[in-house]
Structure 1
């Protein structure tokens, strides 16, 4: 059984925020609703289909088939005609930096730590979060009134997301409301020129597929992922690395057959599904989640980028993430023999090869 962590000495200026699980009925209802919304928005589209059928002449008869199909055609058309993710996106601070994200953290009885003093609000930053996890629950630590606004006052950040997300009903709207824009380099650079900061999960779908709660080795796809570092150097962004503890345990993973994985990969979608509590996608309650933001890694702007300097900064990011893991793992329920290793995207694909058994 998980026991409460002991305080750990942190660098001067560090801040720790706890989000204890709510026990009152209103608080519990809010945290469960927030977690359900946060983990289930990938399934908004089937819910929309059910509503569509419910309003049809087959059920309530509220709308005619002509009206429903016309609405569907217009919605599909705007997916391709209206593409805000390739520009400034939507206004997002009301959702990402609102109370909903905090209640997700309350559900997970979470703790978040920022090491060192608060970064200068006038600075420019790229926030790199590890590991991706099968769902990327660590994203909850990138928002909230009691979380982000307390740890990084005066700083906001735009999420880079895979392009296919903006073509999927429900996922598109949730992503845009959360401040997501396309993660391609030209789109991110335009955001940076507007003075915005960027948040990324550099490990991508390869790191998602490596999520394994039964393994004592947490693998990060990092050795050949240098694009985010190059983006930082070219645009003069300090890199703030962070690591999420416990994500690999809060969902059970289900690996799709190789055929479906091959269909999903061109869309940059994972071939690994997840299962949560009961019939939902809500994470299991034990252990509590923990997240540690490291101190910013200072970057000197260069263009073109010197390869030796690129390798140097990339190595600093890797060492910072490893240092965070080694110093905080015991506090967040990791055994002494738990390790962290870095692999390439090629090695990641080999480790999830079709030769392995699939659930």
Structure 2
């Protein structure tokens, strides 16, 4: 490839990633500002009409969302995924007549691998898993923001509350995939290079959800996710960690202090390989007992650790490094 073409390609990749980081961290505020400006301007009637429609459409994030194949196939997502690059690795066949709960690890700072693989077609999800429809679960608070909620739903994002996941997993015909970052926002505070720390020992809600709907559990691990940013040191017991953990329930989001290339919010060019493991069949159990939840949780943790150990050498993880479960 000529040098000029290579530079152009790299430039497009950087722009694609920067616009995504802005979308994640700043677009919601811009959308709010646009709505307020419309309300106080000559176009106030448009804002009022949108708010009326928003009220009527308020349940969409909890009833499967409103994905758009056109948005998922935008060229910008190919540049976005090529920047790192991001890849999706299939290890087993998934029957499209079944329903699946993809449990993703680790959360990372910005859940980059999950977005690239499950909210776009840049890494070929539909080609690798024909007949399956992925939906990435996101905190409900984001779906209360005008315009922004419509944009994120177009990629396949839906609310992460239980009613939303239950609606998806109970739809007839199979083919539905709920993708959940099991560690939640607090796991972002653990996201540091070379430290695969997962919050999972007390995370059993996803296990109960799978049992209640008979959805097969699929462990998913994104190698390289924690290497995309550096984080200001916040060891457990420090004042910074205490402040972050205290604010999380109030704000609903974690507040990791992080930086990437050149000390900016641009992530490092580190490959992210999202490995989709073999499904764990789950028997439909509408009212699971605690013993059944604990048993399936133990099996799931075993399969997750096995997935990590089987693939870590291929993706540059030192042999002495193992998952740390908290």
Q: C-alpha distance in 2, partners of 1:284/1:217?
A: 16
| Aligned-residue RMSD, C-alpha | 3.2
CA deviation after TM superposition for structure 1 residue 161, in Å: 1.5
Retained in 2: the 8 A contact 1:99–1:144? no
Question: Separation in 1 of the partners of 2:311 and 2:39?
Answer: 59
Counterpart of 2:203 in structure 1 is 225
- Distance in 2 (CA, whole Å) between partners of 1:290 and 1:207 is 19
Other-structure match for 2:305: 322
Aligned CA distance change for structure 1 residues 76 and 317 (closer, same or farther; 3 Å)? same
Report if the CA contact (8 A) 1:242-1:291 is conserved. yes
Q: Indicate the residue corresponding to 1:207 in structure 2.
A: 187
Task: Note the 1:1-359 alignment, pairs <5 A.
Answer: 24=6, 27-42=9-24, 43-47=26-30, 66-67=41-42, 82-83=57-58, 84-96=60-72, 99-116=75-92, 118-139=93-114, 140-142=116-118, 143-169=120-146, 171-195=148-172, 196-213=176-193, 216-254=194-232, 262-278=246-262, 281-285=265-269, 287-343=270-326
Tell me if the contact between 2:81 and 2:123 (Cα under 8 Å) persists in the aligned partners.
no
Q: Deviations over 1:230-275 (max 9, x none)?
A: 1111111111111011111211224668557534423421121432
Consecutive unaligned residues of structure 1, counting only runs of 5 or more, are 1-21, 57-62, 344-359
- The structure-2 alpha-carbon separation of the partners of 1:331 and 1:306, relative to structure 1 and needing over 3 Å to count, comes to same
Note the C-alpha offset of 1:30: 4.2
TM-score by length of 1: 0.75
User: Would the alpha carbon gap of residues 264 and 289 (structure 1) be closer, same or farther in structure 2, given more than 3 Å must change?
Assistant: same
The CA distance in 2 between the partners of 1:248 and 1:315, in whole Å, is: 24
Q: Match of 1:113, SS?
A: strand
Deviates more, 1:236-245 or 1:258-267: 258-267
Kindly tell me the number of residue pairs found equivalent between the two proteins: 310
Change (3 A) 1:129 1:333: same
CA distance in 2, matches of 1:235, 1:173: 28
SS in 1 for 2:314: coil
Cα 1:334–1:162 shift into 2, 3 Å: same
Instruction: Report the CA distance between 1:74 and its aligned residue.
Output: 6.5
Higher helix share: 2
SS in 1 for 2:82: helix
Give the gaps of 5 or more residues in structure 2: 235-239
- Per the TM alignment, residue 191 of structure 1 is displaced from its structure 2 partner at its CA by 2.1
**Deviation, structure 1 residue 151:** 1.8
Relative distance call for 1:174 and 1:262 in structure 2 (3 A) is: farther
TM (norm. structure 2) is 0.81
Tell me how far apart the structure 1 counterparts of residues 35 and 161 of structure 2 sit (CA, whole Å).
33
| Contact kept in structure 2, 1:112 and 1:292, CA below 8 Å | yes
Deviation at 1:228, TM superposition (A): 1.0
Deviation at 1:305, TM superposition (A): 1.2
1:307 deviates by 3.0
